Structures are given as structure tokens and as C-alpha cells.
Chain A
Amino acid sequence: MPSNERVRILVVDDEEIVRESLAGWLDKDGYLVEQAADGRSALARLGAQPFSILISDLKMPEMDGLALQAEARKLQPSLAVVIMTAYATVDTAVTAMKQGAFDYLVKPFDPEELSMMMQKIVAQQELVRENAVLRKALRKEHQLQDLASKAPAMQAVFELARTAARSSSTILILGESGAGKEVLARAIHAESPRAAGPFVEVSCAALTESLLESELFGHEKGSFTGAMARHKGKFEAAHQGTLFLDEVGDVGPKLQLDLLRVLEERRFHRIGGNEIVEVDVRIVAATNRDLQKAVASGAFREDLFYRLNVIPIRLPPLRDRREDIPLLMEHFLERLSAELGRPVDGVTPEAMNALVAHPWPGNVRELRNVLERGAVVARGPVIELADLGLELPGPTRGDAPRPGVATAPDQSLDEVERRHIIAVLAHTGFNVSQSARVLGVDRVTLYSKMRRYGLKRDGDDEPTTAPPR
């Protein structure tokens, strides 16, 4: 049950006896009650500190309760206003409610009515507060942190995204897989005036054209085999929110036309239905394809391209902003520490060099996955190079396959062993102790095999010899 101790109520009435008796009644419920004899002094109090509830008489000299309500809302928009009146008429009640009053009370009022109304307001405000806290937490989660960057190119992306978020224009996010297109789309939604509405995501590449059509527009019962009930589509689900069309470049020709229509008219029919469904949806689309090339080759409709390409935002690949890798690493390790429930303090200098040198074809998503693997397998709070499982430049022979990669069936056992040892050595940065652990042999055995296969590190003149035991 919410406590009343933080609920500040302002009672406004020109009759002192009314103010006193109501304040006294509320005071005993533990509310923090203040009084004002007229609208002007009430506004002065509202300007000085926040209140949860304003209970005001309707008829007062100079400024009446409705005028006070209007001014009070400018000062404190979340204020719950209750209007008291001696003579209730439908007109005054309707006017008060229309202007945003929570409710009205006819003087004198029943104690049960007042008690229930206060409880209702307090409970509702508590819910609003909780909702705001949760939304803030959610927003923080989806903010641009996953795209943390010092790179000038990314700063320009953020600036454009923030400006675009405030408009209702369609946004097209372009970038390679794993570059953070969905994260950016969610962040745009969270920064937009539609943040309180839904964010609905559809992966256009994951479904066949007919399934995607049903997913987007919904269907009526019996419209096709298996349509057992009416199903609302993603467009309807995203009403008053944002619809994120991921991999929009993979949409087939028929659906491209349907999408074009709904983008132009903002209304559509469910599959098998006649009813026109109107939606208020902001579209954010994304693709890793070169849509202009697709338009030139006839694979993508030019008119749809221009409909989607209202505000294009291009996310640079991670390899073009390597200076961001330490920053992103810090962000992901912080999150991984919380998820794994143990400290993950950082990576060794060798691991950091490897992270910065890696080409990152899978971009930020690949970086996150590599760090996750590293955090999981690391034996201590610091991730070592071998923990990352990154493919490194090969040893001297230059023919190291990646660990775990299948070998050809025509290879001898010796050749398989040789290649596997090379792969493991490459994987561990030529750390013999670690490689021996991975291979399940002792160091002497590994040295012996390395000698046998003539494996040596760059710069070593002689094949490696085993140190004394």
C-alpha cells in the first residue's frame, strides 16, 4: 500500500472553516497538507514546491477553481486536481473534468467518497511513478550506449538520429550486419515523442513473402488454411508507436507494392478482410543491402526506395572506427559482469591488441559475442588472448586452419595432428603451456611434437626445444 507521507496536498478555499476541516481530516491520514485562501496564493505555493493533489473550491473571488486548475497545470502538469463545489451542476462537473480535473466533489461530501478518491489518486500516481521509473530504465537500456563512440562519423550519426527522432518522418538505417541498426532504431524510438507507444520489430528476411504479408497486415478468420482466428498484424500492433522493418531490402516484389501503399495511405486491409484499418505508425527501416544498386537492377521498387529513404542514416562498420573498440569493450564487459554475476575487469594487453587488429566482419555484434565468450571461459577477472577465440595471423608456415574447422578426408593422421597443433598455437598466440592444456597433453609432449613437425615461432632460429622439467 502506498504511503501517504510523501503525498503533498494543497487545499484551496476562501472559507477558512472549510479549509481547516478538510486539512485536519487529511492531516490525520498522514498527508502533508497546506492551505491557501485564494487562487493567487495557491499558485505561489505551487510555484515554490511540488504537490501531488490540488483540492480547490470552484467558486472563489478573483480566480475561480477552473482558472486555478488551468494555471496550476502549467506549473505542475502531473498534478491531480479535485474541484469542490457547493452546487453541483452537470455543466460545472463536465467543464471541470474536460479541463483535466481528476474528479469533483459536492460539498459537504461523504467521508467514504473522499477517502476512496484520495486512495485512488495516490494509487494512480504511484503507478504513473513506477511506470516512469521502468520506462526510464528501459530507455537507458536502449539508449545509444551499445553504439558508444568517440568517432566523429558516429557523432554525426547520433546527432542526425536525435534530430530525426523528434520528427515523424520515415528513417532508413543503412549498415553492415551487426553494426547496430536495431539498437539505433530502438534508441530513435526511445528518444521520440512516441516513446510511450510500442516498438514493434519485423525481420523481413526471416519469413516467406506470404507469411510476412500476414505478419505485417494481419488476417481475418478463414482467410487461408490455418487462419483459425482473426490476427492483428504488426502494423496494428505498432499503432501510435514505431514499426521497425529490419532487412527491408529482402522484401519480395508483391510485398514491396503493399508496403508502398500502406506508407502512402497509412491504411490497409487485413488479408481476407474488407474493413479498412487506419494506423498511426512511424516507420524505421533498415538494410545491409545497397538499395540504390537494387533499384538500378530492378530488384527493388524505386518509388518504395524514395518512400523509405526520407532520412537515411548510414552506420559505419566497426573496422572504420577502431578507436571505439576499447570504449565498446568497457561497456560490454560492464554488462557481462552484471549478467554473469562476477567481475570481468578487462583484457590483457595482448588481447586488446588482437581486438583492435581484428577486421570485425560481424561488427559490434561480433565484438559483443567474442567478449561474451572470453568472459565465460576466462579463469580470472581478466580476459586473456586465448579466451577470446579470435582467429590470429598464422604461424610461420602460414597454413593454420581455424580451430574446430573440419579437415579434409584425404589427410593423414599426422597431417591432421600437425595442422591442429598449428591452429591451437595460433589461437593461443604461441603460448605452449596454454596450447598443451587445450590439446590435453603435457608441455614436453607438445615440444616434442613441435620439433617433429618443425614448428617454430617467427624469429626463432631453431625448432623449439623443451625446457627442463
Chain B
Amino acid sequence: MEPITIWWIGERAMAPAVMERVQQELAQAYGVAVRCAEPPGRPSGTWDPKRRQHLTSRMLSWLLQVGPPGGKLLGLTDQDLFIPILTYVFGEAQLGGRVAVASAARLREDLGPGGEGLFMERLVKESVHELGHAYGLLHCQVPRCVMTRAAGVRDVDEKSRHLCPRCRHRLTEPGRSRHAVE
């Protein structure tokens, strides 16, 4: 399993504690070395003025262009993301590829008494989820597996931050990676 690099590519600063928590959880989930690093800049050419959101496919292209050559790269951002057919997405990844992006923009919705702790939990889940795709995992139908599809924040809250045994097993299967779709 390849190591993971995390880049903060948002506009505003992100609390170091949040980044550290994501780093720890990713290391635990995938059992690989995870490091937080400074990106060479912020994504360009990803903004769609009509949608007033960032297009995930361009985000992934930018990460591929400027990212380090080996391992997996996760870009975390506070910007709202979209794919052309949907109003928004929490993140996107190359299926079985090198790069993934996750957005914190909508993860503060309906936080309630959970506050920042719940926000951090959501960001961890989305980070583990998108990197799961980069490691070749599809959406899972086992309840509470972190790889279940989350179409809204309620879905994110319902699932755990852990991979189910079946997804964990699939990670170790040879030839899991599929070609990137974007």
C-alpha cells in the first residue's frame, strides 16, 4: 500500500488539530505512512463562475499535475465542489488512481450540539472515504461502513469512520485498482 500525502488547498486556514486528526485516522485506516505537506499553491482553473463552485475533475487534474510523483495525494479544501450533473459533491477521487479531493464546505451544515467535534468527525470520514476510492474501493452497501454512499450530511453522520471487514479485505486483493473515471 502506497503512502499518503495530505495537502490543505483551501482559501482559509485550517486548524492544525483538524489536519493532525485526519492524518492519524488515515494512518489507522490504511496502515500506511501519512504526512501533511504544504502544496505549491492553490488550484487554478477550477472555478466555475456560473455554478460558483469548483469543478472536481479540474481539481483532480491540478493535483495530478503538481503533486508528488509517488503515493496517494489527498487535497482538502473549504471550497464547495461540484460535478456537472450534480448540485454538489463532498469529494471526488480517481478510482484506483493517485489523487483525491474532499471538501469541508458543506460539512458544517446542521452541526447542532456536536459542534467542531462533529465537523472533524465528518471530515475524517470523507477523507477516509475518498482515499478508499483512490485505493480502488467502490461504494459499499454494508451499513455504517465508511465506504457507503453519503449523499448528504445525515448520511455522513450515520456511517462510521471505519472500513467494514469486506472492504478491508478488498484492499489487500491484488489488482483491485480500476482505471480512473475522471
List, in ascending order, chain B residues with CB within 8 A of A3's CB.
Answer: 141
In the complex the two chains form, is A21's CB within 8 Å of B57's CB?
yes
Give the residue of B57, B82, B84, B133 whose beta carbon is less than 8 angstroms from that of A28.
B133
Does residue B138 face the partner (Cβ distance < 8 Å to A)? yes
In the complex the two chains form, is A21's CB within 8 Å of B83's CB?
yes
Type the 1/0 row for A421-457, where 1 means its CB is closer than 8 Å to any CB of B.
0000000000000000000000000000000000000
In the complex the two chains form, is B87's CB within 8 Å of A27's CB?
no
Q: How far is the CA of A382 from the CA of B155 in the complex (A)?
A: 62
List, in ascending order, chain B residues with CB within 8 A of A17's CB.
Answer: 84
Give the residue of A1, A108, A112 whose beta carbon is less than 8 angstroms from that of B82.
A108
Q: How far is the CA of A116 from the CA of B150 in the complex (A)?
A: 11
Give the residue of A4, A27, A108, A112 whose beta carbon is less than 8 angstroms from that of B84.
A108
List, in ascending order, chain B residues with CB within 8 A of A111's CB.
Answer: 86-89, 151-152
Does residue A96 face the partner (Cβ distance < 8 Å to B)? no
Q: How many A-B residue pairs have CB under 8 A?
A: 70
Does residue A66 face the partner (Cβ distance < 8 Å to B)? no
Which residue of chain A is the closest to B143 with respect to CB atoms? A1
In the complex the two chains form, is A29's CB within 8 Å of B138's CB?
yes
Q: How far is the CA of A29 from the CA of B141 in the complex (A)?
A: 9
Does residue B17 face the partner (Cβ distance < 8 Å to A)? no
In the complex the two chains form, is B151's CB within 8 Å of A28's CB?
no
Q: B123 to chain A: closest CB distance in Å? A: 18
List, in ascending order, chain A residues with CB within 8 A of B88's CB.
Answer: 111
Does residue B37 face the partner (Cβ distance < 8 Å to A)? no
In the complex the two chains form, is A115's CB within 8 Å of B85's CB?
no
Q: A117 to chain B: closest CB distance in Å? A: 11
Type the 1/0 row for A11-52, where 1 means its CB is closer than 8 Å to any CB of B.
000010110111111011110000000000000000000000
Q: B89 to chain A: closest CB distance in Å? A: 7
In the complex the two chains form, is B149's CB within 8 Å of A108's CB?
no
List, in ascending order, chain B residues with CB within 8 A of A21's CB.
Answer: 57, 83-86, 182
Q: How far is the CA of A114 from the CA of B138 in the complex (A)?
A: 17
In the complex the two chains form, is B138's CB within 8 Å of A30's CB?
yes
Which residues of B in the span 66-122 have a Cβ within 8 Å of any Cβ on A?
82-89, 95
Which residue of chain A is the closest to B139 with respect to CB atoms? A29
Q: How far is the CA of A15 from the CA of B83 in the complex (A)?
A: 13
Q: How far is the CA of A224 from the CA of B171 in the complex (A)?
A: 72
Which residue of chain B is the closest to A107 with respect to CB atoms? B85
Give the total of B residues in contact with A, Cβ under 8 Å: 21
In the complex the two chains form, is A27's CB within 8 Å of B149's CB?
no
Give the residue of B57, B95, B151, B155 whose beta carbon is less than 8 angstroms from that of A27.
B95
Which of B83, B85, B88 has the most chain A CB atoms closer than 10 A to its own CB? B85
Does residue B13 face the partner (Cβ distance < 8 Å to A)? no
Does residue B15 face the partner (Cβ distance < 8 Å to A)? no
- Assuming the A-B contacts A29-B139, A30-B138, are A109 and B85 also in contact, with contact meaning beta carbons closer than 8 angstroms in the complex? yes
In the complex the two chains form, is A30's CB within 8 Å of B139's CB?
yes
Which residue of chain A is the closest to B90 with respect to CB atoms? A111
Q: B23 to chain A: closest CB distance in Å? A: 24
Which residue of chain B is the closest to A27 with respect to CB atoms? B181
List, in ascending order, chain B residues with CB within 8 A of A159's CB.
Answer: none
In the complex the two chains form, is B141's CB within 8 Å of A108's CB?
no
Does residue A275 face the partner (Cβ distance < 8 Å to B)? no
Which residues of B in the span 124-154 have a Cβ within 8 Å of any Cβ on A?
133, 138-139, 141, 149, 151-152
List, in ascending order, chain B residues with CB within 8 A of A18's CB.
Answer: 84-85
In the complex the two chains form, is A28's CB within 8 Å of B87's CB?
no
Give the residue of B57, B82, B152, B181 whose beta carbon is less than 8 angstroms from that of A23.
B181
In the complex the two chains form, is B141's CB within 8 Å of A1's CB?
yes
Q: How far is the CA of A1 from the CA of B142 in the complex (A)?
A: 9
Which residues of A in the span 91-140 have a Cβ within 8 Å of any Cβ on B?
107-112, 114-116
List, in ascending order, chain A residues with CB within 8 A of B151's CB.
Answer: 110-112, 114-116
List, in ascending order, chain A residues with CB within 8 A of B57's CB.
Answer: 20-21
Given contact pairs A20-B181, A27-B95, a sample of 11 additional A-B residue pairs in the complex whose CB atoms are under 8 Å apart: A1-B141, A18-B85, A21-B57, A21-B86, A24-B95, A25-B83, A25-B85, A28-B138, A29-B139, A107-B85, A111-B152
Q: Name 12 interchain pairs, CB-CB below 8 A, sorted by A.
A: A3-B141, A21-B85, A21-B182, A24-B83, A28-B133, A28-B139, A28-B181, A30-B138, A84-B85, A108-B51, A110-B87, A111-B152
Residues of A within 8 A of B (CB): 1, 3-4, 15, 17-18, 20-25, 27-30, 84, 107-112, 114-116
